[in-house]
A = this chain, B = another copy of it.
Amino acid sequence: MNTTRRQGQMKLGAFFHPTGHHVAAWLHPDAQIDAGTNFRHYARMTQAAERAKFDLIFLADSAATRAGNMKALRRWPQYMAYFEPTTLLSGLAALTENIGLVATATTSFNEPYNLARRYASLDHISGGRAGWNVVTSSNKAEPFNYGQEKLPAHSDRYGRAREFVEVVKGLWDSWEDDAFLRDREQALYFDPDKLHTLDHHGQYFDVRGPLNVARPPQGYPVLVQAGASDAGRDFAAEAAEIVFTAQTELAQAKAFHDDLKARMARFGRAPDQLKIMPGLNPIIGRTEEEAREKHAFLQSLIHPDVGRELLSPELGGVDLSEVPVDEVLPENLIDDSVDSSKSTFQRVADMARKEKLTVRQMYERYGGARGQRTVIGTPKQIADQMEEWFLAGAVDGFLIQPAVLPAGLDEFAQTVIPELQRRGLFRTEYEGRTLRENLGLHRPAGRYAQQG
């Protein structure tokens, strides 16, 4: 494996779960308890992330409340009620100048024309700082909100997603960058030759266009993807400019990185035009012991109802509500046929089968970060780990997922980021004004632009 020493600096994103990424975050006294309806909470966090020179903030999304056992959900409220991301990021754009704004939206239950408009509009509002995390819906509760009984098959979801992205890009190209003359003397506002009708007719969509929003400042908002399946990787290699991924081991992260960058060549893309940023959940202490204590306190906040509920979907939705939490999970509750595309399934199953952990031990290990990489230690120790992965060429950066918000973001910004900056691994000033400029991504030319 090629492990040439990396040049340049890492990219950092801040992932804003409403009260924090730990499953029990809202129970922690340092969490903003009403985060799901508190705009000022998001404003303060975004401004803090911008002061720390993060490349971007990132918001997840779903088109339904979470389905599950209400006995558990009432104690585990994340993504039950929260802001719609494109509106929230538009509000945050008005209060910031440099930080990127990445919102998730599903291709399964949106119209390309509507979505193309909103992201183009966000890119204009923010002066070129928008990103779109392209997802296909996997929440089984979503189709019922759109007159459908069930999710399409996995392959169909990606087929639709690929065509959806193509249509949206086509719509973003409707107006060439120099279409607007704004010439009062000749009474000519735009050049009709630089306005284009897409006339897309495909398997999933028929969309004429043109879009009624000018071409985004970035050409296209930055395209983000997070799927880890084979179809997801191909889609990322073809279309994504950032990939968020869950990686817990360096060797696997490096293999994922190298595989994805190799796939890009098949689509004629240069490896540096995709930034791979695994999630990283930092638990920071002045000493390692303090960090471990902080983590143990968080783990102790997980209610058994929640612990069982959060293991259940990773095991294919099996009902664990009557399982004793201080015993090992019975073998018959682990069904390997469930969903082999989910890399977390095997990890969770192995805890019971190979390590013989009790259910409580399982959910405490898996539960806090849900299959993401938790790094517990001093700012220096955390920076060491980040440096190691980055210099090994396993990542282009990290998506920071603080356990408790806003406290965990402030801690990271005040302790780990200065350490990374001292080592020359992270910027001290933004390189540009747009998200593309800060990430080092090309601005795509419009498909109709004359070669000059």
Q: Which positions in A face B, CB cutoff 8 Å?
A: 26-27, 29, 33-34, 36-37, 39, 43, 62-65, 70-71, 73-77, 79-84, 86-88, 90-95, 109-111, 113-114, 117-118, 120-122, 124-125, 127, 141, 144-147, 175, 180, 182, 184, 187-192, 195, 205-214, 303
Contacts and interface: CB of A to CB of B under 8 A. Distances in A.
A147 B192 contact: no
Given A34-B182, A94-B43, A113 B145 contact: yes
Contacts of A210: 65
Nearest to A215: B81
A112 to B, nearest CB: 9
A110 to B, nearest CB: 7
Contact of A114 (B110, B121, B191, B214): B110
B114 A109 contact: yes
Contact of A214 (B79, B81, B90, B192): B81
A83 B121 contact: yes
A188 B306 CA distance: 11
Contacts of A43: 94
A93 B323 CA distance: 48
Contact of A187 (B75, B86, B113, B175): B75
Nearest to A189: B77
A111 B145 CA distance: 9
Contacts of A39: 93-94, 124-125, 127
Nearest to A106: B114
B187 A88 contact: no
A27 B184 contact: yes
Contacts of A65: 195, 210-212
A168 to B, nearest CB: 12
Contact of A192 (B70, B121, B191, B205): B70
Top 3 nearest A-B pairs (CB, nearest first) are A90-B90, A144-B208, A77-B189
Contact of A87 (B36, B95, B121): B121
14 contacts: A27-B187, A62-B212, A63-B114, A65-B195, A71-B192, A75-B187, A80-B190, A81-B175, A83-B121, A83-B213, A84-B120, A86-B87, A87-B121, A88-B90
Contact of A94 (B34, B95, B205, B207): B95
Contacts of A189: 26, 74-77, 80
A148 B220 CA distance: 26
Given A187-B75, A189-B75, A124 B83 contact: yes
Given A37-B124, A207-B147, A111 B109 contact: yes
